[in-house]
Amino acid sequence: MAQVESRMLDPREELPGLVELARQARVDVLKMLNRAGSGHTGGSLSAVDILVALFFGHMRLKADDPCWRMRDRFVLSKGHAAPALYAVLAKLGYLRPDDLMTLRQVNSCLQGHPDAKMCTGVECSTGSLGQGLGMALGLALGMRLDKLSSRVYALLGDGEMQEGMVWEAAMAAAHYRAANLTAICDNNGLQIDGRVAEVMNVEPLGAKWRAFGWNALEVDGHDMEAIVSALQTAAAHEAGPSIIIARTVKGKGVSLFENRASSHGVAPSDHELKVALRELGEVPLG
């Protein structure tokens, strides 16, 4: 796929390329985490399809100009999923492929959580859960004051929605009718301590966000066409902010990690990496 300014692409034409990019990104995520020996596997893999759909199927960006003033902005509120973001930024050309293997090393531009001062393409330093939506709202309101047509996207985790700051930002976004803001929830149902519903239930998410004045859409977070379509629908909504609740599977793509809370903050071992690469079609079976 061409790395050029893109927005509102026809998923019927781009879908195969997006699906392949997501597969490649999962491979990169697993390799960099294995090399680092630490990091967050499950939540990175669950977010890959969302990030690929955003960066390659929807957002307005320029591969040769990461600081283009008219670009759309992205905030990774669930900052521990940084490996997925780094994999996508490398596919865009903002990072060199070799950079990925420096994840979590001292002085690397790829810290365990995104660092805007060190990594090209990272708009906000994140990692303290609950803060990203407020940052994204600030960007959205600032761009509205500057009369920019750009949009802001923020990716949150469902466990993160246990944080009160999320709901303060949600109220403010609806109050100020920030129609240029779209939030996305990586709703994989698990957090480090177990099932979100058992730790502190946040459901029903759709009804709650609608009650807060948001346009809430619910999709399969691994259906590339559905994600792109939802992004287009959200962008067309002019009455206020939108949220896409993407139902995902933690550890998606690798049977060893799928739907397991234990995959949250553990890097794949050498053996697990070999199994994962076979399942992802990176190496032949046998």
* Spatial separation of the C-alpha atoms in residues 52 and 49, rounded to whole Å: 5
For residue 61, give the nearest of 51, 72, 52 by alpha carbon. Answer: 72
Cα torsion 164, 166, 167, 173: sign: positive
In a domain, 53, yes or no: yes
In a domain, 71, yes or no: yes
Q: Which runs of E-coded beta strand occur in the chain?
A: 73-76, 152-157, 181-187, 190-191, 194-195, 215-220, 242-247
In a domain, 285, yes or no: no
For residue 228, give the nearest of 3, 2, 24, 11 by alpha carbon. Answer: 11
Residue stretches of the chain with pLDDT short of 50: 1-4, 6-9, 11
In a domain, 106, yes or no: yes
Q: How many domains are there within the chain?
A: 1
* Spatial separation of the C-alpha atoms in residues 22 and 281, rounded to whole Å: 12
DSSP state of 268: P
User: Residue 196 contacts by C-beta under 8 Å, 6 or more apart in sequence?
Assistant: 158, 159, 162, 189, 190, 202
In a domain, 6, yes or no: no
* CATH number assigned to the domain comprising residue 34: 3.40.50.970
Judging by beta carbons within 10 Å of its beta carbon (0-12, 13-18, 19+), is residue 223 exposed, middle or buried?
Answer: middle
Whose tokens are 């029903």? That residue is: 204
Residue 12, pLDDT score: 55
Q: What is the CA radius of gyration of the chain?
A: 18
Domain that holds residue 28: 12-279
Q: Is the pTM of this model over 0.85?
A: yes
Residue 61, pLDDT score: 95
Neighbours of 216 (CB within 10 A): 21
* Spatial separation of the C-alpha atoms in residues 134 and 150, rounded to whole Å: 17
Q: Tell me the per-residue pLDDT of 60-115, one tens digit each, with 9 for 90 and over.
A: 999 899 999 999 999 999 999 999 999 999 999 999 999 999 999 999 999 999 99
Report whether 152 contacts 140 (CB < 8 A): yes
Residue 14, pLDDT score: 82
Residue 6, pLDDT score: 47
In a domain, 3, yes or no: no
Q: Tokens at residue 127, please?
A: 């990692």
Judging by beta carbons within 10 Å of its beta carbon (0-12, 13-18, 19+), is residue 124 exposed, middle or buried?
Answer: buried
3-state SS, residue 190: strand
In a domain, 36, yes or no: yes
Q: Which runs of E-coded beta strand occur in 130-231?
A: 152-157, 181-187, 190-191, 194-195, 215-220
* Spatial separation of the C-alpha atoms in residues 8 and 15, rounded to whole Å: 13
In a domain, 87, yes or no: yes
Helix, strand, coil in percent for the chain, rounding step 5: 45, 10, 45
